[in-house]
Amino acid sequence: MAKSGCVLGECPFCRDLIYEGEIWILNRKDRLAHLSCESKASKKDKKIAELETELREAHYRIKVLERGLKKCLSEASTKT
């Protein structure tokens, strides 16, 4: 595969970066993947990749919520 152009994302199956010059697709969940990886992946591989993505998104959301909580607590402590 040609590794040229901008990095678009990471393939959930092979974990390699997806470059603009490569052959890639958006799967049903609107996630980028190499076409060859998507076509070779079993249902189990696809489900694992989906769950790993959901887990990363949940970790990010937790961090955002923790920052918001710290901000609220610091504002509350300065008001008292």
| Sequence ranges of the domains in the chain | 7-79
What's the pLDDT tens digit per position in 4-53? 789 999 998 999 999 988 999 987 778 899 999 988 989 998 899 889 88
- Please tell me whether residue 64 adopts helix, strand or coil conformation: helix
Whole-model pTM: value is 0.63
The DSSP secondary structure of 10-58, one letter per residue, reads E-TTT-PEEETTS-EEE-TTS-EEEHHHHHH--HHHHHHHHHHHHHHHH
Q: How far apart are CA 59 and CA 19, in angstroms?
A: 26
- CB count, 10 Å around CB of 22? 19
